[in-house]
Chains A and B, each alone.
Chain A
Amino acid sequence: MAEQAYTVVSDSETTGEEKTSSAFPEIAIGIDIGTSQCSVAVWNGSQVELVRNTRNRKLMRSYVTFKDEVPAGGVSDELAHEYDMLSGAAIFNMKRLIGRVDTDPVVHASKSLPFLVETLNIGVRPFIAALVNNMWRSTTPEEVLAIFLVELRAMAEVKLKRPVRNAVLTVPVSFSRFQLTRIERACAMAGLHVLRLMPEPTAVALLYAQQQQQSGHENMGSGSEKIALIFNMGAGYCDVAITATAGGVSQIKALAGSTVGGEDLLQNLMHHLLPNMDDLFSSHGIEEIKRMGLLRVATQDAIHLLSFNMSVPIDVDLGNGTKLSKVLTRAEFEEVNKEVFEKCEALIKRCLQAAKLEAEDVHDVIIVGGCSYIPKVRNIVMSICKREELYSGMNPLEAAVRGAALEGAVASGISDPFGNLDLLTIQATPLSIGIQADGSDFVPVIHQNTTTPVRKELIFTTVHDNQAEALILVYEGDEKAAEDNHLLGYFKIRGIPPAPKGIPEISVCMDIDASNVLRVFAGVMVRGTQRAPMPFMEVRMPTVDDGHGWSAQALHKMYGSTLDLVTVKKIQH
């Protein structure tokens, strides 16, 4: 699409849409970057296949080790992970840290990781470093992810015997658009062009749509739709989606997501086992790193075992006279993590409510992700959805990447003679997008769970007589106060004709296209055929570069309420 004179394209580094004119479209690969594990899958011409690494593994640990000069990811070398973790050289959990600032509680909770996460609590990105030769070598989540993606890409190229450029990646539902740009940046660094960033449960929904299509219980377009609730809980995030499926079309009815996952279970249990853990580890010396690593590995193993046993013995020598020796029961584990499970419950309920559905309306309940093996998690999902059994047709650890590969094939324009790719996902917005207005309120223009692509418009007006300019502050989220949401960007519109307050009509229109690109249009509306005094602004969001609230504070300090807007109240009809 041709760019207009007033377009502000924000992120110059996001790879531009290249017009590939080759006769055979490249099939985009699907990548699932998990907080703890990742995988690659691709449509092989007749079905989705997971790409295996040189050790014949389909799932690889998501971590990068910094040693001497060359950092290496876990794609080829996963066995070293546990050891590297004890040395401080391995960086992982990047999906939890990417695009977050050092005031974020999730970043603070990451301080117990066996490498350096330093926060200054001023709203900038945290300092992250790996211990290499007794020196902290700084890095960023984007860099770690990029190193890892380079390895995944190389692995795929070797296996597929062709260059790999395009990819569909799965992302957590709760990711802000700013976080999505960080994922895109990491991909660009790795030479990958992002075709789609797909919320994880919607990838699962697409796989479900294909399975329904293949099982032949329905005729194409018969309209007899099946409702599925998808619960996805991995190490870093928990997502819920509700989809209505018929004829290979998966329509996302509602999404809900939160930064709660296996990592929280792990940390809560670590604190339970070693209550003064934070004090013991605060200095981040070589010995502390090693102890943190040992405790982490022991706790992780215990959680895995508790999925199949009612109790598990823990014996770990943390050195320096600290020795843990006890029997941990499943009940204890569940009690320690009560809040985490309550959050999961709340998410499912919220999603059902947003979809305007009762548990009884749901045909299939699908549970995927690393935490899907935890009995308590399964019980919660089954009890809220009021059923005895869960959908069994999917591998919980592969569902998301398989869905991403299907989307990759569909979005690459591939068709299948047997109709196995006659699929479509109709996506919905996971978070509301709006502007600050009516004082410091967040006024959504596009609401949460709106089907995309979409274009919506709201009319605002001035708060001062003869106000000539207005500031448009675009936020994403669902909090009432604007500043509690993610700031995506801001710009000024000018040339409002002199008029008493409340008279000028300022239109703010937001457009999300099928690739999930958000554009905000704003300007002064003029009635009749008279030309607008100033051109409209079209701004591609997000424009803020570091996702922090500083700019909003600076703007407020500079302009106060002089450039504010209020919504035009609904006119009754």
Chain B
Amino acid sequence: MAEKNGNLRTEEIQLNMGPQHPSTHGVYRALLTLDGERVVGVENIIGYLHRGIEKLAEDRTYTQFIPYTDRLDYLAGMLNNLGYVQTVEKMMDIEIPERAEYLRVIMAELSRIASHMIMIASMALDVSGWTAWFPPFRERERILDLFEMVCGSRLTLSYMRIGGVANDIPEGFLPNLEKFLNDLPRMIDEVNGLITGNEIFKARCQGVGKLDLDTAIAYGVTGPNLRASGLPFDLRKAKPYGIYDRFEFDVPTLNNGDSYDRFVIRLLEIEQSAKIIRQAISNLPDGPIKAKVPRVIKLPKGEVYHQIEGAKGILGFYLVSDGGTKPYRLHIHSPSFVNLGVLPLISIGETVQDFVVNIASIDIVLGEVDR
């Protein structure tokens, strides 16, 4: 589309951003239409990390599928584990031991903190605040160390089992966890000092990528992104799963719905997750960590949908069983995929630099978008 601007002929250009680009957070690709530095069109192009996980599920037993869930949102493996095993358990109708429930909550919230830390760090990096990248990553490393203590791996955890968890926590886990929680406010202070309060950062993010509440609901945006737009909707409160109804915590909500709020809300949520973990530690009962589950799991014929509050929003598993040992069909409702849909809308009319900030603030993980 060319237009006459005085005697100068200006033309829009198409800029291909990704799948290999420093700040597309994986293999996301955007086809931008630019008018100078201004974005006039965005096309989301996904699928570079498609592994057919949903199809693979149809050829795996219910237990065998657990490791695949780690590869969805690989920054919050525990939450995916949790969502999946709870879906299967919902169909099996079994009683989960108390200790396992509490351990699940501790791990899930740790995973949430780790995921939010990545978002904070990478958003700081995307506005070139290099130094602010380090405090969150330094502390996240300690979460990964804790995961390593408990299940031997750091990223692809596969810790949850149908009916409980894989291992009990080892000696020294709880003291380390307490120490980590005590150091958490220091990290938040560091991030606030380095980047949250920085005038340039505020100028870059405030009012950028504004997502109003109606649009957010219309597009099905969930999780921190929705709460930053002003709706205090959190499945842990609204429709508690597991034992979340036993914990005392707030649902932080901000009103502007811009990139800055989406950044700040993650910091606030880290604090709330820490609060939940503290309560879980103090109430942690003794006992078994796994219910009696048959060696070969067969689900009754039927279908089930279960959703949890993932790190990025509502993570849902829709499972259809034909009565065999393998799922007939498994569909994963992934929050990143849904949230990504709103990115073109909020980025049009802003600059290329804002677009980069918007990708970071939406917080997508391509493993989950493409599945």
Whether A and B are associated in the same complex: the answer reads no
| Chain A positions near chain B (C-beta within 8 angstroms) | none
Please report B residues at the A interface, Cβ cutoff 8 Å. none
